[in-house]
Structure 1
């Protein structure tokens, strides 16, 4: 006789309940009840250790076992930005800024899903072999949702671009993917970072460890905080506080951020972890705010911090002093138990206190690494991230090229195509532009021209020889994580070193047409390529990671309809340095498309397709509302081009008569839709009352009476740059 599975489960749970020694081990109780019981059973010394061991070097983790309670070791530290980072071979997905360009919540969730599957599979293997080192844990210190507020910031590539709404919506999808869909357990924990108002500088003109951002309450509420609220509402289990200070207060000791806003206003119940060494750096670099380690420990715990991520190599940590704070009455036992609670609750949800066989995620292993499914996701994500900036009829390529030249320092540079915080992918899985595109030509010439992306030494003869007889030259330029990354800001928008000379020589000496591929986290000065008649097409590729060459081949050849370029710029591409403000100025004046009044080279939301699209039948319902009501916006979009493809439908609003400063335009909705030739699709988007509200100091967000204009189309409004779609404009009234 075959016994139904659910009866087996009932019997199993009953048995485990009988075997449970303590209530926190009783799987029939709720996670909340079990966590309450566990927290009360921990000694204060045990709690201090648990709050101190968030990772960070030999002495920073893991959290040790507590044998008397049957509690195992636990490692928080892992990097999951777009693949399992720094933990050996894993599938490397496109960098976050490229994922943002997809404007696709679907592909971002799939990337996060694959990432967390590999993280969990490798974690299980690490535990099996007794490896508890950094980057083997389940904490997933991702995603990065800071605003790309300045084009030279070294960490732009890790973000979802310059818009708070886009960043927040994409973060929700990423969190959903990391979490998994099991009704009881989470696959990994998500930790949104870096909270808050952290967006450069890294090292130019000052260090991020010493920097104090001066931010108005309006800019804080309308630019730097909204995406973090999306994280909280989207189910993030944790947040990470940043190194810098805001208005004189170090962020990891900022009670206004961590307690007033995060916990009281937003109802966040998760944990907050410091960035690596941030507590130590408060003492070293934020002189005078705290004078002793004890003060730093007490101040940060009172402000709302739960867990310390150590600086690496330090035997003593700031949170070690929590014990002294308790002895001297500077911290209460109740507060310390309150701070450790979300850590233990998260471990509960990860299944750490349940029998191994109850949690299906415990059965994942290293066989999931570089699975065909994950490689396919990597290819699709890269294809969906490429932004076509220019196309004078060259693409898609329909015929074999006689002589093809593939040149430039990014043409066959596997490591610099990955971007920072990448998985340590086995090089045999990496497809460079040269490797992926060589089959486009009957004959292929290749020359790097420079031995590094810095291009301080340039072999002009090598480049001229390679391109002079080419029917098509593909020029691969950019930065790589060697030149823009954590701790490394750029100093200007110029192509690095002598790359501009390389491009100039290609334009001058080749007899054929030119396709330029840019690999960077942010905008570069490519005016020469944009203006040259010999440069027929330009792609912004960002850092597409392991599938670069394969994905480029698919996009250039249009292997299938899904390969038709559909990505859009998630940031403003400034024309030149005259449009770039001081990085240390944290006012939003003239920054991002929301406040910039100049003419960019390419606007936010811009991107071309091999197809064309027509918008019509804009309907705004209702046309007049009272405060607190929502609005439904619908329209028809038709693929009027030759090829099937994706269109990113974007909706913006502007306030016509607000009494306070508002953005010129604000993205409030988007949807990436696939359209076959001549196919009309009705798209429905919504504007919530919260999106209509403006910030008024000392009053908060208020929906004011007046007129709000609505813009629908294929890019942000107010620009004359030619795109492959039109724009519709309407309005509604708030009474």
Structure 2
């Protein structure tokens, strides 16, 4: 201890030399108990917390935890995203969006995917760890995924991040993802997963910082909480994120009932709770929930209720400064013991990640930067993409009997990387669009690509170089480019150059901005629309007119554009501005000209033997708090679930040519494609299929595999079938409580083969409450090719108040060779046989319980094939109340 005291004195005297002090302190801090791997995690965390001042403690409670040089504690940034691959940290393997992975109904595959993701997190960490052991933003090991919220309404823009509308499917897939991220080492986490957003969060986006949700006791226990409970009690998730909204008048991040009573006492949670980014500020902000009057009272309410870590939202100036924590403690509003408890949990997490142990001693020491984005990982992405494809309709067009001679590839998502990656995404090193996948799979076909239309407006190709000049005299072609350090075009440019166009690929991990100036001379007269394909904000000015301003807040910009009338041959001054944060930084100036009316797409279809129309949505129109100026969209959410009107019009025109049309939908939420269902011979739901998605689509068309994805959400015919979006009651929502006829039901998905069910058996015709029930059935592949079947077990409680129409309580994805039969077994425990009453109490009640085992729900409609399956009934005797 004598040596460490001398170091602390030296560091105090050399306060301006923080970095050398960190290294100096670390060189002998091994003698401090918190650096001793032989001690328990609890002892080590208590030791380091005991050595901190109040001010140091407060600074450790934010997501950007600074170094403590005198103690040898490196900085750590807790904010890392891993929804379907390492996100926002540059090149990484990009898997299908979460909703797509849920469509695989394959929990073991999900765990394998998450294991790959955790390996890539470790690889990124190894690549960028600071000499003092610290980490940058998006380079750490605490992963703020998965999203466990229930996708209760297809209008929610962030539903793409979830595993769908069913609590059971969400829990099984979520547990598998958590286990893959956290690993199975008894001492160390590979990474730490986070179940979010707790609780009841599911839109609308426009009101998320103000929403006070009042779910019924029944809906809370029956729908909104079961998956969270399962990820804690079974999945052993080590982090939970509290939500923006309030529940029954109390902000989720200040709710003692949610975070202490339920999470810790009822469910036995041992990890830490982090706020959603900006949610701690929602507790006290005047324009938000305003639960307390001051910031100090707000942070005190959060920490006393059980929140351990504040994520501040830089985008909306919603960080909660450590000074408020210090003030709350000194004012007696927040006991320092509560602060210490939160810090114990946070440092136990860092210790269990191995961040204070010699790197070579860790079980992950062999993971190097080279293990990011490997061929093996991309092969896993392709496997998951294929598993997630859902064949919604097939009138015999698929699989293709032979390779077409001429293929017309049409639509806004045919050659669009945005349509592959969804949101909260990494950057694929070699993204395979649908167009690229078709060219690779059918190398001898003549493939013509015509976009034809944009997502919500005309097609918007890059502006050609030939229309730009640096000045009015056009002495030099191109545009003057001024590059600035920082995101706000401030100060003198760090570099000035001439670019042929307003296009730039940022290099390196930095904050930068750019301004292009010059003139533009259009070749047509009429309305022109402009926007910038950008990963951050942008602005376009023609003369003195601000054509479009999507400067935004630096996260997930939309495809907002603006219109201006221009005359052919006339030169106009143009100014384009854009910025980037982190490693996401690719800008391209796009425009729509008067002649872009879809005629070229119709002509391409006329010349083709097969038309592949790739449409749907992207995360530029559905997502998190965004600007979208288009019919059917609002703030990232949707007001209509129809295919956007420009796409619908072009699809009908292309279909009218009379050639076979295959519709590929790429989206993160259900689309009411009623016209296509009646008129288009084949429809594939591809979701946002990840970096290898184009290969998966092309291979499905060719019949290289039999599709076996199943819908994790109901595809309704229109929003007219639904209650109001802001109504959180579950009545009339999801397959469990929707009594109408859907377009495609939850669990639906077609195959290239056929399956038959037989010999459904139950272990007893009568069971006492609390006794497990075994259900078995034989499943045979009766069709012409090998394929997977997703065997689904549904439970119904006829006539019981509070019971859903039916509820999924078991599933297995089973590979079956042609002619093969396998016996599938399920065990139904007490929770699987229970229902929830109006008071929110979960019980097993006496009476008959109907069982269905099949390839989907036992429902059908005109135009859909009958679902294969078998029925049974069991009688339950006695009753039992189950814990929350």
Aligned to 1:472: 610
Q: Is the 8 A contact 2:771 2:829 kept in 1?
A: yes
1:254 to 1:610, Cα distance in 2 relative to 1, 3 A: same
Superposition deviation, residue 325 in structure 1:
2.0
Is residue 78 of structure 2 the alignment partner of residue 76 of structure 1? Answer: yes
Aligned to 1:308: 310
Q: Is the 8 A contact 2:453 2:598 kept in 1?
A: no
Q: Give yes or no for the alignment of 1:529 onto 2:676.
A: yes
2:762 aligned counterpart, secondary structure: strand
1:680 CA displacement? 0.5
1:501 aligns with 2:649: yes
Tell me which moved more, 548-557 or 266-275. 548-557
Aligned partners of 1:213 and 1:584 also within 8 Å = no
In the TM superposition, residue 65 of structure 1 has moved relative to its aligned partner by: 2.1
Q: Does 1:575 align with 2:717?
A: yes
Match of 1:161 among 161, 164, 171: 164
**1:632 maps onto 2:774 in alignment:** yes
Aligned counterparts, 1:716-727, within 5 A: 716-720=857-861, 722-723=864-865, 725-727=867-869
Structure-2 separation of matches of 1:657 and 1:593: 17
Which deviations, in whole Å up to 9, do the C-alpha atoms of 1:4-47 show, x marking residues without a partner? xxxxxxxxxxxx9x994233322222323333433334443322
Matched-pair contact (CA < 8 Å) for 2:232–2:269: yes
Deviations, residues 55-79 of structure 1 (Å, cap 9, x unaligned): xxxxxx1x12223333222221110
Match of 1:692 among 810, 828, 833: 833
CA distance in 1: counterparts of 2:840 and 2:722, whole angstroms: 33
Q: Is residue 113 of structure 1 aligned with residue 251 of structure 2?
A: no
Following TM superposition, by how much is the alpha carbon of 1:453 offset from its aligned partner in structure 2, in angstroms? 5.0
Counterparts of 2:688 and 2:289, CA distance in 1: 38
Structure 1 stretch displaced more, 235-244 or 417-426 = 417-426
Residue aligning to 1:50: 60
Contact 2:706 2:787 survives alignment (8 Å): yes
1:485 to 615, 620, 623: 623
1:514 lines up with 2:516 in the alignment: no
How many angstroms apart in 2 are the aligned matches of 1:348 and 1:610? 50
As a proportion of its length, which structure holds more helix? Answer: 1
Instruction: Give me the whole-angstrom Cα distance separating, in 2, the residues matched to 1:109 and 1:98.
Output: 15
Q: Is the 1:403–1:444 contact (alpha carbons within 8 Å) kept by the matching residues of 2? A: yes
Partner of 2:727: 585
**2:693 aligned residue:** 548
**1:588 and 1:351, CA in 2 relative to 1: closer, same or farther beyond 3 A?**
same
Deviation at residue 455 of structure 1 after TM alignment: 4.2
In structure 2, the residue matched to 1:708 is 849
SS in 2 for 1:515: strand
Determine if the alignment matches structure 1 residue 433 to structure 2 residue 430: no
Cα deviation per residue 1:343-388 (whole Å; 9 max; x = unaligned)?
1111111001211211142442321121011100110110000000
1:34 and 2:44 correspond: yes
Query: SS of the counterpart of 1:500?
Result: helix
What is the CA distance between 1:167 and its match in structure 2? 0.4
Q: CA deviation at 1:672?
A: 0.2
Report the equivalent of 2:813.
672
2:455/2:646 contact within 8 Å kept: no
Cα contact 2:672–2:743 (8 A) shared by 1: no
1:146 aligns with 2:149: yes
1:449 aligns to 2:446 (yes or no)? no
Q: CA deviation at 1:469?
A: 2.3
The answer on whether the counterparts of 2:281 and 2:319 sit within 8 Å (CA) in structure 1 is no
Structure 2 unmatched ranges of 5 or more = 1-25, 460-591, 626-635, 878-884
Find the aligned partners of 1:315 and 1:268 in 2 and give their Cα distance.
Answer: 28
Give 1 or 2: higher strand fraction.
2
Alpha-carbon shift at residue 316 of structure 1 (Å): 6.3
Match among 360, 369, 384 for residue 357 of structure 1: 360
* Conservation of the 8 A alpha-carbon contact between 1:437 and 1:553: yes
Closer/same/farther in 2, CA of residues 636 and 520 from structure 1, 3 Å limit: same
SS of equivalent to 1:284 = coil
Q: Residues 24 and 724 of structure 1: is their aligned pair in 2 closer, same or farther, counting only changes over 3 Å?
A: farther
Counterpart of 1:87? Answer: 89
1:656-700 deviation digits (Å, cap 9, x = unpaired): 242x31111000000000000111100001111012222235572
Give, in angstroms, the shift of residue 701 of structure 1. 1.6
What does 1:148-547 correspond to in 2, within 5 Å?
A: 148-203=151-206, 207-233=207-233, 234-282=235-283, 283-312=285-314, 317-426=320-429, 429-438=430-439, 439-440=441-442, 442-452=445-455, 454-455=457-458, 459-487=597-625, 488-510=636-658, 512-532=659-679, 535-547=680-692
Q: Summarize deviations over 1:191-249 as a string: whole Å, max 9, x none.
A: 1110110111012xxx2111222211110111000110111120111011111112221
Alignment deviations for residues 463-491 of structure 1 (CA, whole Å, 9 cap, x no partner)? 11100121111111111111111120011
Alpha-carbon separation, structure 2, partners of 1:389 and 1:219 = 30
Could you tell me how far apart the structure 2 residues matched to 1:601 and 1:575 are?
5
Give the Å deviation of 1:295: 1.0
Report the 3-state secondary structure (helix = DSSP H, G, I; strand = E; otherwise coil) of the residue aligned with 2:34.
Answer: helix
Which 10-residue stretch deviates more, 97-106 or 29-38? 29-38
Native 8 Å contact 2:297 2:333 kept in 1:
no
Q: 1:724 to 1:639 in 2, by over 3 A?
A: farther
Partners of 1:612 and 1:95 in 2: how far apart?
28
For 1:47 and 1:325, how far apart are their aligned partners in 2? 13
Task: Work out whether residues 517 and 538 of structure 1, in 8 Å CA contact, stay in contact via their aligned partners in 2.
Answer: yes
Answer whether contact 1:608 1:724 (CA < 8 A) is retained. Answer: no
1:558 aligns with 2:712: no
Distance of 1:186 and 1:694 partners within structure 2: 35
Give the distance between the partners of 2:327 and 2:718, measured in 1 at CA.
Answer: 54
The 8 Å contact of residues 281 and 318 in structure 2, kept in 1 or not, is answered as no
SS in 1 for 2:405: strand
Change (3 A) 1:407 1:356: same
- TM-score w.r.t. structure 2 length? 0.77
What is the deviation of 1:725? 4.8
Distance verdict in 2 for CA 1:43–1:698, change over 3 Å = farther
Corresponding residue of 2:479: none
Q: Which secondary structure does the structure 2 equivalent of 1:733 belong to? A: strand
Indicate how the Cα distance of structure 1 residues 724 and 704 shifts in structure 2: closer, same or farther if over 3 A, else same.
Answer: closer
Contact 1:78 1:136 in 2 (8 A): yes
Partner of 1:12: none
Alpha-carbon offset, residue 113 of structure 1: 1.1
- Partner secondary structure for residue 404 of structure 1: strand
Instruction: Give the deviation of 1:183 after TM superposition.
Output: 3.5
Normalized against structure 1, the TM-score is what? 0.92
Contact 1:77–1:141 (CA under 8 A) maintained in structure 2: yes
Structure 1, unmatched stretches of 5+, are 1-15, 55-60
